[in-house]
Amino acid sequence: MNPVRLLFLRSGMCRHFKKDPISPRPLDGLTILDVGCGGGLLCEPLARMGAHVTGIDAVEENIEVAKLHAAKDPLTATILYQHTTAEQLVQEKQQFDIVAALEVIEHVPDPMDFLQSLSLLTKQDGAVVISTLNRSPTSYSLAIFAAEYILGWLPKGTHDWSKFLTPEEVALLMERASLTLEEMTGMFYDPLKQTWRLADDLSVNYIAWAAKRGE
């Protein structure tokens, strides 16, 4: 899934910040926060594209793994990894050009408070990017029953289907958090080719780009 998420991010950032999409370092000068960064799967390619990247995670072990892996490459050794939360960074009054939270919002206790924190961490005229799972019959069949219980891609119990958010719910929450939804697209897994691609189908995985405008 990561290559299609990066394709969406790179395209959106180049368009929003008027960057050269064919440059080897198209994100030069941009500050990016990856909330729930895990082992750095998203942080590292963004750093290689020139961004100043901060990755945070509430699980300390994830941060330690990410630090060890990033240190192996001079282009990723500059990533700042922190064992902290978005809410704590809000208290510190930190802000970034782009705030990304991919496959995170479906795990938080209060999606509205979480999106509000993401918005507060974003500079004016910056952007918030989230990806998540739709609460649909198809997502239950594929993302939970198949992925967790049949294929074993994820540990059983990783997801709670009742916490999945529909695209309409995400759009409404973004509006309440002073964010303007500009783009939303699906991420579709092709089992025959064993690859992911961006698609119009939002029934399972989808990713959204929202601009931070005036308060």
State the CATH class of domain 2-135+162-212.
alpha beta
Q: What tokens does 38 get? A: 């895990």
Q: What would the pLDDT profile of 6-30 be if each residue is shown by its tens digit? A: 999 999 999 999 999 999 999 999 9
Where residue 162 falls among pLDDT bands split at 50, 70, 90? confident
Q: What tokens does 195 get? A: 């690859």
Q: Could you give the strand order of the β-sheet that contains 52-57, starting from the edge strand earlier in sequence? A: 80-83, 52-57, 31-35, 96-102, 122-133, 205-212, 179-190, 195-199
Query: β-strands 179-190, 31-35: how paired?
Result: unpaired
Q: What would the pLDDT profile of 74-111 be if each residue is shown by its tens digit? A: 999 999 999 999 999 999 999 999 999 999 999 999 99
What pLDDT, on a 0 to 100 scale, did the predictor assign at position 145?
56
Where residue 149 falls among pLDDT bands split at 50, 70, 90? low
> Do you know the residue count of the chain?
215
pLDDT at 214 over 80: no
Mean pLDDT throughout 157-181?
A: 90
Share of the chain above pLDDT 90, in %: 80
Gap between the Cα atoms of 64 and 43, Å rounded: 14
Determine the number of helices (DSSP H) and then strands (DSSP E) in the chain: 7, 8
Where residue 137 falls among pLDDT bands split at 50, 70, 90? confident
187 or 140, which is more confident?
A: 187
What pLDDT, on a 0 to 100 scale, did the predictor assign at position 88?
97
